[in-house]
Amino acid sequence: METSALLDYIQFILTDGIGPVSFRKYIDNYGSVSESLKQLSLKKNLFPRKSAEEELQKAQKQNIKILTFEDADYPALLKQLNDAPPILYAKGNLDLLNYPATLAIVGSRNASVAGRKIASRIAYDLTNNDVLVVSGMARGIDSAAHKGALYAKNEQAPTVAVLGTGVDICYPEENQELYEQIASQGVIISEFPLGTAANVSNFPRRNRIVSALSMGVLVVEASLNSGSLITARLALEQGKDIFAVPGSPFENKSAGCNKLIKEGALLTENADDILQTLALTQNRTLKTHQNATLKSKPLDFEKKQVNIVPKQKSSADSNKILQIIGAAGIEQDDLIRHLKMKANDVMVIITELELEGLITKQNSSFLSLTKEGLRLVK
């Protein structure tokens, strides 16, 4: 798209009082963004052209792409929303925005260790079966899902993060390393202008994009008033599959998931439940894509059994790894060579130990024990 046309989009949508729905109405009435901008200028004080130029320059300096409806990389699934964002900020691999098989994983920010482990495990298994995981990079379940996905395919797998802030703002701040890893291996997107800080009203808006980009939504731990149920409701309205992990009826953070299951969501214990359902409801089987950067294309319909990664190893393996890491720490590759186990199996255990707060990863590859981990090995 020509720079002048892109500036028209930015100037239009950033004008006070203009949202995705009113933007679309103007386009329907006047036929083009440029003509709509002229008509809007008769009624409102437009967002300054100079400020639009500065927004574009800031994006370019940070290697952030601003996509519009007219761009081929703009997600086709997102265009189907009546309130689809006219512009989308994206940082990372744009080809992933039209990936053919996607699933959203959402849940409690104040998640239990067990909840984070199952979210991470399911994300890991889905990704190894070529399903792209989408989430919101929030604390708890979102972060665990992203981490599980990133660990798949020998730690080279992608994931999609949809932010409720500007795409240049990491929220929460503690997720800075995760943010950078997603930008490197996957893609981070937002509809909000650069520099937009976290605001409670932004996250429900973010949720509609999470659900729209996905074939289905998995909810792992959610209270009855959780924002995750908003995502599930939006997905249901969009005709998507809803999955939920059941929990104890005595736990508040399980109440939302149990309610969803009562209302017809698919009870989910592992990735296999999701993979089989997606294959049936979409009337197609998930075909392996050798390169995650491939453009979207129809999936072949084959009677092909999906392959699930082996179940997690015993606690004895976890204890052995903690002992090997020890107080001095160890490089991840050295650990794998020392154990003489399959790299994927080791990575699953490492992910679980990290989510349990027993180990931490520094510089993307050096493993060390946390205070809790040190306490266990002494």
Q: Is residue 298 part of a domain?
A: no
Structural domain range at position 259: 95-281
Where do we find the tokens 């050096």?
366
The pLDDT confidence band at residue 336, using thresholds 50, 70 and 90, is: confident
Asked if 63 and 197 sit in the same domain, the reply is no
The torsion angles phi and psi of 316, rounded to 5 degrees, stand at -60, -40
Q: Is residue 305 part of a domain?
A: no
Asked if 270 and 370 sit in the same domain, the reply is no
- CATH number, domain of 142, equals 3.40.50.450
**Of the given ranges (27-31, 111-115, 201-205), which has the lowest mean pLDDT?**
201-205
Considering all CA atoms of the chain, what is the largest pairwise distance in Å, rounded to the nearest integer? 73
Q: Is residue 293 part of a domain?
A: no
Rounded to 5 degrees, what angle do the CA atoms 273, 278, 284 make? 135
CB 156 within 8 A of CB 130: no
Asked if 82 and 99 sit in the same domain, the reply is no
Q: Is residue 55 part of a domain?
A: yes
Question: Which stretches of the chain are DSSP H helices?
Answer: 3-13, 20-30, 33-41, 49-61, 76-79, 113-128, 141-155, 176-185, 202-212, 227-237, 252-262, 271-281, 315-325, 332-339, 343-355, 371-377
User: How many Cβ atoms are within 10 Å of 17's Cβ, its own excluded?
Assistant: 9
The fraction of the chain above a pLDDT of 90, given in percent, is 62
Asked if 232 and 102 sit in the same domain, the reply is yes
Asked if 86 and 132 sit in the same domain, the reply is no
**What's 112's DSSP letter?**
-
Residue 57, CA distances (Å) to 6, 61, 87, 194 in order: 12, 6, 15, 11
Q: pLDDT tens digits for 25-54?
A: 999 999 999 999 999 999 989 999 999 999
- The total number of residues shown for the chain amounts to 378
The pLDDT confidence band at residue 364, using thresholds 50, 70 and 90, is: low
Average per-residue pLDDT in the chain?
86
Where do we find the tokens 């990079």?
137
Q: pLDDT tens digits for 220-231?
A: 999 998 889 989
Q: Is residue 127 part of a domain?
A: yes
Q: Can you tell me the distance from the alpha carbon of 124 to that of 156, in angstroms, rounded to the nearest whole number?
A: 12
Q: Among 70, 92, 114, identify where a domain stops.
A: 92
Asked if 273 and 366 sit in the same domain, the reply is no
Asked if 85 and 108 sit in the same domain, the reply is no
pLDDT at residue number 371: 80
Asked if 269 and 129 sit in the same domain, the reply is yes
- CATH number, domain of 338, equals 1.10.10.10
User: How many Cβ atoms are within 10 Å of 231's Cβ, its own excluded?
Assistant: 29
Q: Is residue 290 part of a domain?
A: no
Q: Can you tell me the distance from the alpha carbon of 377 to that of 336, in angstroms, rounded to the nearest whole number?
A: 19
Structure tokens at 275: 């993979």
Residue 67, CA distances (Å) to 79, 262, 280 in order: 12, 40, 33
More confident residue, 274 or 371: 274
Number of domains in the chain: 3
pTM above 0.85?
no
Q: pLDDT tens digits for 160-188?
A: 999 999 999 999 999 999 999 999 999 99
Q: Can you tell me the distance from the alpha carbon of 266 to that of 243, in angstroms, rounded to the nearest whole number?
A: 5
Asked if 170 and 254 sit in the same domain, the reply is yes
CB 96 within 8 A of CB 161: no
CB 75 within 8 A of CB 213: yes
Number of H helices, E strands in the chain: 16, 12
pLDDT at residue number 91: 98
Q: Among 225, 258, 281, identify where a domain stops.
A: 281
Asked if 266 and 207 sit in the same domain, the reply is yes
Q: Is residue 246 part of a domain?
A: yes
Asked if 99 and 236 sit in the same domain, the reply is yes
Q: Is residue 296 part of a domain?
A: no
Is pLDDT of 286 > 60? Answer: no
Asked if 65 and 214 sit in the same domain, the reply is no
